[in-house]
Amino acid sequence: MTSPLKHIKVLDLSRILAAPWAGQVLADLGADVIKVERPGMGDDTRSWGPPFLKDKDGVETKEAGYYLSANRGKRSITVDLNTAEGQKIIRDLAAQSDIVLENYKANTLNKFGLGYDDLKVVNPRLIYCSVTGFGQTGPRRDHAAYDFMIQAMGGLMSVTGERDDLPGGGPQKVGVPIVDLMTGMYTAVAVLAALERLNVTGKGDYIDIAMLDVLVSSMANQNMNYLVSGNPPKRAGNKHPNIQPQDVFQCSDGYIVLVVGNDSQFAKFCEVIGRTEWATDERFSTNGKRVRNQKILLPMITKILLQKSMKVWADQLDTAGVPCSAINTIPEVFEDEQVKHRGLFIQVPHPTAGTVPQVISPIRFADAKLSFDRPPPLLGQHTRDILGELGLDSAEIDGLAARGVI
């Protein structure tokens, strides 16, 4: 089996997380992703630690865990974009590429002669995707942005966290950089759609992706809850705004997440806890009624669940087909039998550490394979190989190095 994108070359001019995440998605699918980095410094996230990967002797490397999470499968070349020779290298690479990913501030690469209008001259079929905080237009187009800030601006923190009137209440960010990750996924979808269109029209395209746009679009049911009702959604802790009972409940020895998704599951839940009459109770018989009467229902559920252990309830609810789960720590996730069965954790050979742990793509094909054999690259690890593919000989490459271009 071959990888779906084995024939595709991606020129990745991005750093941090959103666009690099898209590059990793494409690399997992088999694309040859060339990561362009600053000489001597590289991607900012290389230094975003601790923790840092340790080499075979147990000494910390310069590869932070953050960097290692988003750059698997790529080849690294160092190029100084401030030099004419460096700009020529990028143009030559673009001429051989199918996709360019970049996340500089709006118009930055235009100043180097590396904007879309410049590169489409050397490659009219090029798909060029710019990922920024606010897009290429609008009053904030020139502003920098980070995930945390966009979570605040886009409304996510207004619906995340415990109620203000309860202990621990107040706005919270999501525990992973979810805007970056969602932006990376939208970016991957967009460039793959453009590739398919290229197959039909023969024309490349320019794609403008903004982190704020992504979050506003991703607020999903919370957006519509407001647009339909006119009532601004509020923080409600772990309670689902539209489906009940869905919450964290305390048992005799810990906590369990209960996720009742429909009336049939609620009836099964009532059987397990010995309250079959609730399924036909006029206050709780439908989801809408349970949402409206949750202040009555949820304390009653809590009182019952406190009587037994988390494992006893989880076993009984699982057997009955009622979705529930313990709240796992990250180590517990990797010990979960389903996670182990799906093979999400692997060790990939690494040039200095021996191996590097990786959590692989969730995509599964019946008749194609994904590629996980190339670790996140060392800074500039593939510079000579890539320049050699452009036709430069050893003396020319040595000259570029001596002049600080690479």
Domains of the chain by residue range: 9-217+343-402, 246-330
Mean pLDDT across the stretch 183-212? Answer: 97
- What would the CATH number be for the domain defined by 9-217+343-402? 3.40.50.10540
d(CA 385, CA 371): 20
pLDDT at 372 over 90: yes
- What would the CATH number be for the domain defined by 246-330? 3.30.1540.10
Sheet with 74-78, side-by-side order of all strands: 74-78, 32-37, 9-12, 99-102, 127-132, 205-210
- Which residues carry out catalysis? 180
pLDDT at 44 over 90: yes
The pLDDT of residue 1 is 84
pLDDT at 108 over 90: yes
The pLDDT of residue 130 is 98
d(CA 157, CA 163): 12
Write out pLDDT tens, residues 231-282: 999 999 999 999 999 999 999 998 999 999 999 999 999 999 999 999 999 9
d(CA 29, CA 192): 11
Calculate Rg over the CA atoms of the chain: 25
Computed over every residue of the chain, the mean pLDDT equals 97
